[in-house]
Amino acid sequence: EVTINYRHGLPVITLTLPTRSERCQFTVKPVVTTVGAFLQDVQREDKGIERTEVFTTDGSKVSDATLMEVLLMNDFKLVINSTVYSVSPPVKDKLSSEHATEMEDIKSLVHRLFVALHLEDHQVRKERELLQKVDHLKEELLPLEQMKARIMDSADAKTSRLLWVGLALMSTQGGALAWLTWWVYSWDIMEPVTYFITYGSAMAFYAYFVLTKHDYIYPHAKDRQFLHYFYQKSKKQHFNVERYNKLKDDLAEAEESLRRLRQPLHLRLPIQEISDKD
């Protein structure tokens, strides 16, 4: 009572509805239709059907997610309410390798044409999303940038004052040693003093290396002191450095994605290949 025939390349399943006792045909698309979808179509056609299941010939239940293409490869049993139907699908002629290759080429061509026709819409939509993300990130960064500028100005001013204080101390030390050498004492007395001052300075530079693992180079020392003042000021003003860096990285990534998206894309469709086949 359940027959399967192929019409225009698609399987047509004919069965008798139990409530109305009418023969009904169901045309399925084996590549996309699942067993569960087919059974739902049968139940929708006849509201009196309470149970529909599919089993293999050895009694194993077929999952609803199984494609009809897989089910129609072998015999199976269709259960409608309490009635069991043994179904034997007809053997479908397999496509020749040459025809199958042509079909694959056509599918590939259709896919490339679809991408080419819809790529512009996708690109516009993606560009709009990236622009919205960039604007949102810039809005979040604006107050942080202003706060960072104020903190950097304050840290730079304190670092510059520290450098000038260091120059003033060195000048004062040089003047004091000259005064003690030529006006108060003699060079013989001041020579040991200058030696220990030089040796103490060397110890101070070595201690700097031990603590920082870097040589005492003036630009590096200035940058280190600037960062010290910057983080100290940031903590007092509750400036979240980690959040600022995260937003900057996200903004740079979004702008880079936007730049790549706006680059011209060259799609090569197999036009020459089609002409050769023609």
* The pair of three-digit structure tokens given for residue 52, joined into one six-digit string: 């529909």
pLDDT of residue 274: 39
Give the residue among 256, 250, 255 at the shortest CA–CA distance from 131.
255
Structural domains for the chain = 2-87 (3.10.20), 122-267 (no CATH)
- Max Cα distance, the chain (Å): 131
**Which amino acid is residue 150, in one-letter code?**
R
The predicted structure's pLDDT at residue 140: 84
Q: State the pLDDT at residue 219.
A: 79
Instruction: List phi, psi (to 5°) of 182.
Output: -100, -20
- State the Cα–Cα distance between residues 24 and 2, nearest whole angstrom: 10
CA distance linking residue 100 with residue 102, whole number of Å: 5
- Strand stretches in the chain, DSSP E: 3-7, 10-17, 22-27, 52-56, 76-80, 83-87
Residue 85: beta bridge partners? 78
- Spatial separation of the C-alpha atoms in residues 26 and 252, rounded to whole Å: 56
Q: What's CA 133's distance to the chain center, in Å?
A: 14
pLDDT at 200: 87
- CA 1 vs. chain centroid, Å, equals 54
Cα–Cα distance between 17 and 264 in angstroms, integer? Answer: 59
Closest CA to 23 of 37, 8, 12: 12
Which residues of the chain have a pLDDT value below 50? Answer: 94-96, 265-278
Supply the pLDDT for residue 55: 92
**Long-range pairs for 151-155: beta carbons < 8 A, 24 or more residues apart:** 151/230, 151/233, 151/234, 151/237, 151/239, 152/230, 154/229, 154/233, 155/226, 155/227, 155/229, 155/230, 155/233
What tokens does 117 get?
């026709």
Tell me what pLDDT residue 100 has.
Answer: 53
Amino acid (1-letter code) at residue 175 = G
Q: How far is CA 275 from the centre of its chain?
A: 40
The angle subtended at Cα 37 by Cα 31 and Cα 40, nearest 5°, is 155
| Span 144-197, pLDDT tens digits | 888 888 888 888 888 888 778 888 888 888 888 888 888 888 888 888 888 888
- Answer for the pair 193, 177: CB distance below 8 angstroms, yes or no: yes
